[in-house]
Structure 1
């Protein structure tokens, strides 16, 4: 079954290239999670749980890296697009709040 391409819209949150890179990273995470599901289904011995745990940790780290990429791309893009210092500071405040809330 082929994946339906995700529509990428133009906007000021992220550039088209930033979105493409983030979507590619998330597609890799999705593949890792499918692999974890298969490993769980095939787990028959205690040592299999170690392999599952290792792959889950790798997927979690990859998702964390995607989060960092999202925030850092947002910082760069929104700073470049700010009209003045006040707008840049407001944007930085919103992004700092996101880090505080979700990181």
Structure 2
């Protein structure tokens, strides 16, 4: 994780949830740097298979991070809701985000 990032407390995500997501993204960033090296060193047709495999793994890890972001946000927003209407509004916003980005 980039130590220069200051984690701000808020109601969207807890500090621990943010730290976990940032750590996941740092690992994905490392995977992508590895993919770049594989591409640079690719010399044989079989090398493309290794590149594709690593790209698929990075994509899956990013997808899992996206789901974790939504799940964490859903849990926090429902726990912090002061009324059923506020919880419903939060759920609708998260559903719209899921529909838009998933």
Tell me which interval the TM-score lies in, with the shorter structure as reference length: over 0.9
Determine the C-alpha separation between the residues in 1 that align with 2:28 and 2:88: 33
Secondary structure of 1:7's partner? coil
Determine the C-alpha separation between the residues in 2 that align with 1:5 and 1:51: 33
Determine the C-alpha separation between the residues in 2 that align with 1:71 and 1:83: 20
Q: Which ranges of structure 2 fall in alignment gaps of 5 or more residues? A: none
User: How much does 1:4 deviate?
Assistant: 4.5
TM value normalised by structure 2? 0.96
Q: Deviations over 1:1-49 (max 9, x none)?
A: xx55211111111000110110011011000000000000000000000
Determine the C-alpha separation between the residues in 2 that align with 1:5 and 1:29: 18
User: How much does 1:50 deviate?
Assistant: 0.3
TM value normalised by structure 1? 0.95
Q: How does 1:22-37 map to 2 (within 5 A)?
A: 22-37=21-36
Q: How does 1:41-80 map to 2 (within 5 A)?
A: 41-80=40-79
Q: Which runs of 4+ in 1 moved over 3 A?
A: none
Question: How well do the aligned residues superpose, as a CA RMSD in angstroms?
Answer: 0.8
Determine the C-alpha separation between the residues in 1 that align with 2:11 and 2:3: 24
Determine the C-alpha separation between the residues in 2 that align with 1:4 and 1:71: 24
Residue correspondences, number: 101
